[in-house]
Homo-oligomer: A and B are copies of this chain.
Amino acid sequence: MADLIGNCIVAQSGGPTAVINASIAGVVEEAYKHEQIEEVFGALNGILGILNEEIVDLSEEKNSAIKGLLYTPAAALGSCRHKLDFASADADKAAKAQRDCERVLEVFKAHNIRYFFYAGGNDSMDTADKINKLAQQQAYDLRVIGVPKTIDNDLPFTDHCPGYGSVVKYLATAVLEASRDLEAMSVGNTCSIIEVMGRHAGWIAAGTVLAKRAEEDGPHIVLLPEVPFDEAKLVAEVSSAMTKYGRCILVVGEGLRGPDGKLISFMGGKFEKDVFGHSQLGGVAEALRAIIEEKAGVKCRTAKLGIPQRAAGHIASKTDRDNAYLAGSRAVQLAVEGSTDVMVTLTREGAADSPKFGTGTAPLADIANNEKKLPREWINEAGTLPNEKFIEYARPLIQGEVNPPMEGGLPKYVRLEKHPVEKKCAAYETK
């Protein structure tokens, strides 16, 4: 295949993670190795930055800043939740998606962008796929590679998603520490309910089971969206833990649902749906508190770890970070070698307790809008705790520490300087 010569652009989308910036570092450092890639650009705030032609020249960043992306959480280029809603029943929205897609190509052509690397989740892979397809229709030579990213770990075809190992390392540490706290206060006979993210999949909640090194250690119960909520069983399990240990650590995924498929707690309120039509989750811990206090007669304290859990760079997993970097660098290699319209996947082989992680690919269109749930056979029969199969899967993902540099007692993270590339197109209305 003839070399495709031109510029590349990288962008970040969806919720930030502790390690998505490492994927950007992987893209940038790998891109420099290939002479076909002339300039290395970044788009600000994901696809929005392309639509708005807000492009920065990453080669003007200090080397120390690019290296700093290896330990800096969140999304250094900014992120967004802008959907190209081709499938919308609303004809205006579908037409807007088509215009957005055409605009992306207009901007790419203006800047001779021939390589597009998009780090994100389901919706981002859908967007990348649509852009790739339009480029092909227009016979514009473009290579589009997705880089997996989501703390929720719910993308199909990949062993795991960068971002997941770090959120689990943070939350398992929090549960381990809270468990020690409750153990010390066990004469107080309380149940501690910890609500974690993960949307409609239980991967994150399940990961906290890694804190359990002995039967008496928390978590004692993990409620997963994959297992329909059973109130009577919960009350019995909590009572049993209180009798056995004088305490109970209960972890619950925000997307827990009843047998009727309804969320156990739906926040409601003015902003109940985001732009993708996803429900705002959160609040299940308080719903469970009311049930346990009333029906089990056990005093509860709740915690909802919220945004800090997905940005916890101070205790990011080195394995996770390294795989995020690997996914980014492999995306560039694949594109240079001629691939397009695929997402990099992560693979594992070798011994279960010390696997080797590698990469593969999956078609973007197969990723889009396809959620991978926690397999039922990785959860115990009662549906109250992930089992050894899950632990064997998850434990390697939290190994090693990143240890960001500290300054004044707090982590010292980098910011990019974001040198703008001169605009060449007319302004565009993104809304």
Is there a chain B Cβ closer than 8 Å to A135's Cβ?
Answer: no
A residues 237-263 with Cβ under 8 Å of B? Answer: none
A99: CB under 8 A from chain B?
no
- Give Cα distance in the complex from A207 to B108, angstroms: 46
Contact (A188, B311) CB under 8 Å given A16-B180, A409-B398:
no
Given A169-B410, A211-B410, A293-B271, CB of A192 within 8 Å of CB of B306? yes
> Which residues of chain B are within 8 angstroms of A194 by Cβ–Cβ distance?
306-308
User: Is A91 at the interface (CB under 8 A from chain B)?
Assistant: no
Tell me whether chain A's interface is mostly helix, strand or loop, or mixed: mixed
Which residues of chain A (166-215) have a CB below 8 Å from chain B?
A: 169, 172-178, 180-188, 192, 194, 210-211
Residues A104-131 near B (CB distance < 8 A):
none
Name the distance in Å between A305's Cβ and chain B's nearest Cβ. 6
Among A373-404, those with CB < 8 Å from B are 395, 398-401
Interface assignment of A313: CB less than 8 Å from any CB of chain B: yes
A297 to B73 CA separation, bound complex (whole angstroms): 29
Given contacts A176-B411, A177-B73, A177-B314, contact A187 B80 (CB under 8 A): yes
Q: Given A210-B409, A406-B401, A410-B398, A48–B187 Cβ distance below 8 Å?
A: yes
Within 8 A of B (CB), among A283-309: 283, 286, 289-290, 293-294, 297, 299-308
Please tell me if the beta carbons of A311 and B181 are within 8 angstroms of each other in the complex.
Answer: yes
For A300, list chain B residues within 8 Å (CB): 271
Complex Cα distance, B177 from A400, in Å, reads 20
Inter-subunit contact B270/A73 (CB<8 Å): no
* A234 CB–B CB distance under 8 Å: no
Q: Which of A74-96 contact B (CB under 8 A)?
A: 74-76, 78-82
**In the complex the two chains form, is B290's CB within 8 Å of A180's CB?**
no
Contact between chains at B192 and A307 (CB < 8 Å): yes
A289 CA to B270 CA in the complex, in Å?
Answer: 10
25 A-B pairs with CB atoms under 8 Å apart are A12-B184, A16-B180, A16-B181, A16-B184, A45-B187, A72-B180, A74-B177, A75-B184, A76-B184, A172-B410, A177-B314, A180-B311, A181-B307, A181-B311, A192-B306, A194-B306, A210-B408, A270-B294, A271-B299, A301-B307, A303-B304, A303-B306, A303-B307, A398-B408, A398-B409
List 14 extra interface pairs beyond A74-B183, A173-B411, A178-B308, CB under 8 A. A15-B181, A16-B180, A78-B184, A78-B186, A172-B410, A173-B314, A178-B307, A181-B310, A181-B311, A182-B307, A270-B293, A282-B301, A305-B305, A395-B408
